[in-house]
Structures are given as C-alpha cells and as structure tokens.
Amino acid sequence: MIFTSGPVIGKELIVQVTNTGGDLGNNHFDLQMPGGGVGIFDGCSSQFPGSYSWGQRYGGISQRSECANLPAVLQAGCYWRFDWFQNADNPQMSFKQVACPSALTANTQCIRN
C-alpha cells in the first residue's frame, strides 16, 4: 500500500490480507492494530481478560498515552499506530498484490496455498 492522503501520505506498508468482510466497501482494507478498536467482532476481550480500556468499539483509543492501558504485549503496536501511522483515520491509498515476504509469514504463521 502507498498512502495517498492524510498524515501518512507517501508512506508505504506491506500487509497480509487474512479475510474479507461484507461490511466493507470495494477495495477497502481494515488494518488491525492495537488500540484501533475491537470492531464488529471483539476477540480482544476474550483473549486478554481483565479490565483493559479498549476505547471506542470503532476507532479505539484517542491518544498515545492510552496505549499504556492495554496489555503489555500490545503496547508497542499501539505506539506504532500513533508514531508511524500518526493515528490516520481511513487514509486513501493505492495498492498492488505482491508475494508475502517470509518475514511477515514467519510472524503470522499464515501462508496461502
């Protein structure tokens, strides 16, 4: 992806698509990132039981300091959301399909056959 609007304009990101959803538009990507909201299906609360503050269901937390209220294992990804992604809200982008880099599939353990 190459972002073409918002605070991330010109930045590039390689992502792994894992599913599609009926609630999305054509060529719409939901980027899952810690602190970004739990969305239509909240898997976070069951995976990380406790009294964590996940923020708004759609949109998540609103400021970087709130990352400290998430489980420790998720905090670095939340800081990335504010530092690199600059808390962008649905920026426009262009994209092309590429082979998933092994560094990414090694992390996700998902490889398309």
Q: Is the pLDDT of residue 25 over 80?
A: no
Whether 58 and 26 map to the same domain: the answer is no
Q: What is the pLDDT of residues 42-85, one digit of tens each?
A: 888 889 998 898 999 989 999 999 999 999 999 999 999 999 99
User: In 3D, which of 58, 31, 34, 56 has the Cα closest to residue 44?
Assistant: 34
Confidence of residue 23 (pLDDT cuts 50, 70, 90): low
40 and 69, same structural domain?
yes
41 shares its domain with 79:
yes
Percentage, residues of the chain above pLDDT 90: 59
> Do residue 17 and residue 44 come from a single domain?
no
43 is in which domain, residue-wise? 34-84
Instruction: Please tell me whether residues 1 and 24 are part of one structural domain.
Output: yes
Kindly state whether residues 39 and 63 are assigned to the same domain: yes
Q: Does 21 share its domain with 54?
A: no
Q: Which is more confident, 111 or 73? A: 73
**Spacing of C-alpha 112 from chain mean position:** 20
Question: How far is the C-alpha of 12 from the C-alpha of 27, rounded, in Å?
Answer: 17
pTM of the model: 0.84
Number of domains the chain is built from: 2
Please check whether residues 104 and 79 belong to one and the same domain: no
Measure the CA–CA gap between 6 and 19, rounded to whole angstroms. Answer: 25
